[in-house]
Amino acid sequence: MALDAILAPKSIAVVGASAKPSIGRSLIQTLGAMGFTGNVYPVNPKYEDVAGHRCYPSIADLPDGVDLVLFCISSKHLLAQYELAARKGIRGATIYDGGFAEAGDEGKELQKRIVDLSREAGMSLCGPNCMGALNPPFRSTSYMTALLDPTALIGDVALVAQSGSICIGMVTDVRRFGYSHVISSGNEAVTTTAQYLEYLVDEPETKVIALFTETVHEPDRFVAALDRAAAKGKPVISLKVGKSSRASAAVSTHTGGIAGESRVFSAVLRAHRAIEVDDLDEMTEVISVCRGARLPKGRRIGVVAASGGQTELILDLTTTKGYDLPPLKPALREKAEKVIGPLLGDGNPLDAWGHGEYLVNIPHAFDCFGTSSDYDSIVYIGEGNDGQPTDYKEKAREYCDLIGAAAAKYDKPFYYMGMRFGIFRSDQVRMLAEHGVPMLGGTRPALGAITRVAQYVQGPGKERPPVGPPKLSLATLLTGRKRPTLHEFDSKRLLAAAGVPVAREKLVTSIADGKIAAKEIGYPVVLKVASDAVPHKTDVGLVAVGLKSDTEFEATWKQFDARIAKLSPRPTIDGYIVQQMVTDGIEVLAGIKRDPSFGPVLAFGLGGVFVELLGDVALRMLPLREGDVEAMIAETKAHAVLKGHRGRPPSDVAALTRALYALADYAYAERDSIDEIDVNPIKVLSEGQGCVAVDALIVPRR
């Protein structure tokens, strides 16, 4: 399907055009205001002329070769007209009205008919239930809102949003950037965000792509398009809404519960170098940063201020949000104070007001940050707003010239930042644009945007060597059996063969053999049932820890037998596991969850009760890249615990890192055979003592 029919049409038909005030009439008038040079064909049997254009009685009467048809009619009357368009060979269509898949069974059936017609005819479709597409550089529009100043919209940002209201809101402010395309994609019955993204990656007028997404309809295609955008150096900014867990079959492991749809989608975006944002404020600031003459190569920000209060506020935010504002080193501080005078705090933010000679102090502050290898980008704080009742005479131009001169002198990106979101002067935006310096608004979204873009520029780590087949495969243990889960003993056999350290244990089927195993391992021991039908052994009282003698062991065994006999249905058991008692170590969790759309993902966090209590889990898509595990550990609260606390020595993070890479490599090698793996807990012992998986569960592919 050719998307240029929607995004760069050369001829447009408007079905339902009217001489009266209406969407159809407004669209035709807007095309004229934009300077559309192609043919416009109103379609309505009631008129001979609409807005100065000959009106056609039917789609069947149109000339051949029409690119795009706009349906400004009710969904109740649409199907017959759509069939005419498909037979006519029209290449693209836009349906504005709702009443389709979002409106019950009847609407779903209507949408299915439309989809079938589109695919048979090879016709692209924007919508239904959408606002259409606005393409300012191409002087074309199917966007159903009238444009007061079409030329002001022209720019290099492409927006694809499933919500029409988001498009309406975003195009109300074009002070800092305009648009190459604004696409309200609606239900995406035929043409999806992934397809629009493919098109925009290659579209030369587009520099930055922003996505407002409710559902990713073609996951593989979407991911491939993200990879192409990253390879071309074209930033993709994604805001995903509806972040509730996917309604799916009940999960069998902790990992399945914590790796919900929104978290997995975030991991996908990270792995494929898209920039995720949480709200429209962040999206707007990230777009602005991406349009600068240079992008930040690292997260370290040097801030130049002219106020102690501003400095204190920024430091407070830095502490809570984790922005990287490195303090001035002694030599650099000495250099700054020689000109500016004594500095407060650690020098970053650098209060450059000093003795009030801003024409001297501000350039010197820029020079300090610009010449230092400790900073990747430089932010100047300046306040101003359109229509403000007060002013510092000609200083607005002077400040812009100062930062522009510094931006030309150093190879780092510079930014002009107001402390409040959306508050800035349009004249300064224009002045700064001449120097490639973005204007940013709002301390939190602005500093966050610089940080996010820096992470995008740095990209993921290098690819690791290809993963070979496992030493012991899952198929070996299935041997034709239908196993809903692999009990703990078999699960750990597979993981141990893959290089994951596991606790010493033995599977036994009699009390006598159990006592022998307990003595070999050494009391105290743990006793557990081994049964595929009992994945959560603790819930039914089939785990006992700290058994100290043969007497306790035998009593517990008989107690387990009695409990199993009462279960309904009575599970088949393979025996009992006698396991070493691991009393020391920090408990962490690791697991694999197969996402239905994006494939296997690794989860990591503090183990035991903490995973449910804190919900503090890091995710990465498989296969892992270099540095992924180290970054996951650093992202979670486990990092602080593993470093040592309250006199406890540091834990063996190196051993944990090796175990997590081994787990991920095994899961990726068996990705077609496994739905979930849960390893909880892993006990991380003191530094140099290793780590050990105490419990594990593998769920074969359903």
Amino acid at 596: P
Q: Are strands 39-43 and 124-126 parallel, antiparallel or unpaired?
A: unpaired
- Structural domain total, the chain: 4
Q: CA 57, CA 25: separation in Å to the nearest integer?
A: 16
Structure tokens at 508: 């036994």
**SS3 breakdown of the chain: % helix, strand, coil, rounded to 5?**
40, 20, 40
Query: Is 551 among the domain residues?
Result: yes
Highest mean pLDDT among 147-156, 333-342, 461-470: 333-342
CATH of the domain at 114: 3.40.50.720
Q: Are residues 612 and 637 in the same domain?
A: yes
- For position 259, what pLDDT does the model report? 43
Core vs surface per residue 445-455: b (16+ CB within 10 A) or e: bbbbbbbbbbb
**Domain edge (last residue) among 207, 225, 242:** 242
CATH of the domain at 592: 3.30.470.20
Contacts of 117 (CB under 8 A, 6+ apart): 82, 83, 86, 123
Q: Are residues 523 and 392 in the same domain?
A: no
Query: Is 263 among the domain residues?
Result: no
pLDDT above 90: percentage of residues in the chain: 81
237-268 pLDDT, tens per residue? 999 987 544 333 333 444 444 444 678 889 99
Query: Is 285 among the domain residues?
Result: no
Query: Is 687 among the domain residues?
Result: yes
**Domain edge (last residue) among 440, 458, 476:** 458
Amino acid at 555: A
Q: Are residues 654 and 569 in the same domain?
A: no
Query: Is 264 among the domain residues?
Result: no
Q: Are residues 226 and 122 in the same domain?
A: yes
CATH of the domain at 544: 3.30.1490.20
Q: Are residues 97 and 186 in the same domain?
A: yes
- For position 609, what pLDDT does the model report? 58
Query: Is 635 among the domain residues?
Result: yes
Sign of the four-CA dihedral 531, 533, 539, 540? negative
**Domain edge (last residue) among 214, 242, 270:** 242
- The string of DSSP codes covering 619-638 is EEESSPBTTHHHHHHHHSTH
CATH of the domain at 420: 3.40.50.261
Q: Are residues 163 and 29 in the same domain?
A: yes
The 3-state DSSP class for residue 181 equals strand
Residue ranges making up the domain that contains 168: 4-242
- For position 461, what pLDDT does the model report? 84
Q: Are residues 627 and 534 in the same domain?
A: no
Q: Are residues 569 and 600 in the same domain?
A: no
Q: Are residues 573 and 595 in the same domain?
A: no
Q: Are residues 538 and 391 in the same domain?
A: no
User: Using alpha carbons only, what angle is made at residue 480 by residues 477 and 482, rounded to the nearest 5 degrees?
Assistant: 85
Average pLDDT, the chain: 92
- The lowest-confidence range among 308-312, 577-581, 670-674 is 308-312
Alpha-carbon distances of 606 from 83, 506, 641, 677, rounded to whole Å: 58, 27, 9, 16
- The mean pLDDT value for 457-481 works out to 89
* Sheet containing strand 377-381, strands side by side: 350-351, 301-305, 377-381, 414-418, 439-441
